[in-house]
Structure 1
């Protein structure tokens, strides 16, 4: 029995040794196969040192020239890619800056929208941050003593002031600098300049204008319509001339002045609008005859100089308000001295009359091609607004170039909607026919319906 167990252990040991040898053999075979694959496969060149490429250049397995070309091509592509990446980074930085700026603008827009939708975030007082205390007090707003009133829809009242005033806050501060209750500065020229900048109407002031020395009572009507007032009737400080004699004689002086002979009442002013020549010059009687007697009663003269048109209409029992500016001359004071109504406003201001109220509106020379087209059209519509149905618009010697007459102004007047009662054109020849300068005069009617 002992011998059988010994034989059995011997066979078992031999069997184990055989299995071990087979494993070793399999490992060797696999190792050799792997080695052959590595050295003969598609990546075999990776295991050879660079020095071997020259020795194997004729080998069909790989081509070193092709490899180098591929490597160089790859390198070039990498360089190009890096350049593109750098460019993209620049574009991204630029886009980032643009996005940041867009975010800022959107924030501002959202803020403006919020302010518009919620007025409590932005008040009228915010516009007055940089103006003087006196200007703030004049412009308001002011709380109503009795509180909210449905008629006004508010518990506050605002003083009328031109938005242009807030564009010129330093000038506004200067205008509102004075001793409260004292004498106002003699600043007529500065005030008029501020008005022409769009600060119209101006805020009120709590001071007294300087009074003329030795003032006397005015000449009574009707003599005052055609008489020169005494020099003591006004303050001469703002003007080049210091008396009316100088103004009357200025018509003979060289240089250009606004309405140069307007103060010479015994000259051309004396015969204006008395005669109708059938052309550009219309007579008052002929124009008034276009309407039933007595139906032309009140009206407006735009830029009426020294008020002669109003004086002539006064003789016909028609009351005319004359707008005029004081361009180096006391035009408004002179109009008032004649017993007429002056209004110191520029042509750019909305006329301070309710719609459908005036019987006649007149303008000579002031409405012309010096006014921008859009502004002129707004003015014409405002004239249409204040005229009553059937009211007359007397346009006296409108100046323009021949190229503008039919291309610009005729269509503009037609758009406004006036009906032509009379229309005359004539060439202005004093500077030569080659200038192609024209006048046209017209009487236009606001339709009844």
Structure 2
């Protein structure tokens, strides 16, 4: 039976707004949601929720601009851009393509390292909570759990591309909603039980407070970091209705859903713990052992899928580049079918280069996670570094080029003002994150956590 193909000769895309929303929720509701109670504790009752809402509105606005950049000239029949870099190359070109690639893929590597850290912490929390309930003193190292996470990713990373990941994203999206509800429910129970929590700003020096505020902004920026894979997600959608319309709907659903969860988890978590809100919300609870186990397992499962969502663009870039450079090398281009016994002849295709390269990537990110296992600081640094260039700057610049906006027109000045404001936010968040990383490194010994 002949394989149906799209207008570009590639296998027919079958994604819908539902699968795209699942990809978005998988990418957005990640480990970031667990740090929001701490972030709001640094910002306070007014500035905390306001900052969350502002970030969500900016992300939604720039996502609509990015969705229109998927096809060039015509949103229905125009040339497809398969990746974020392709879109920048088509609309802007020049040195901006390299800058985009540097920002995007450095961010993607950082996110996969960050998700390895977070998944291992959650796996270790299952054992830690059991020890606490048994009143037993036990040392829980995340290193062994990073190795377990690595082994799982070594298998999943052989999934060829985004088009085969819908089931992983749907499962991960369900898991993200599960642990968000559990964290929210435990926070509500803590508040309802009459737990006294001081919801004033943390009692630290003015300088420390300022650095923590900057870091909190970085945490919130990370919580909305999915623009790096928006074009890649859009490339999974079927062409009718037009992909940009479907993607805008999916972005609205995904961002609206995550913002509601963020506000609930962040604000109720802050109400429950006050200025003592932990960096990882789930780590603050020691009751309801079975719920904590379910929540931490859900986080781990979700991040297994989220790792793949963020790693696939890296895999695709390297593999397509190598195929173009060495088209005659069978090690790079040839697929070998392996039949699985007892499954009626069912098999799967193995590419030797894909097997070696992706396995090496997973191993390297695991080692980096072992060297830098700092949850809050690492998430904030990634968010600060990626928010302005990838969520705001390139989206706005591509829109200006596509719409041919005259310089110093009202619309042009408004978009540039938004871009400059977001640049300032990213810079202060990065400064706070770097300062926090320096403080963490002063007391850290590699592989002993």
Q: Normalised by the shorter chain, which TM-score bucket?
A: under 0.3
- TM-score normalised per structure 1: 0.20
- Say which one has the larger Rg: 1
More helix by share: 2
More strand by share: 1
- TM-score normalised per structure 2: 0.20
Higher relative contact order (CA 8 A, sep 6+): 2
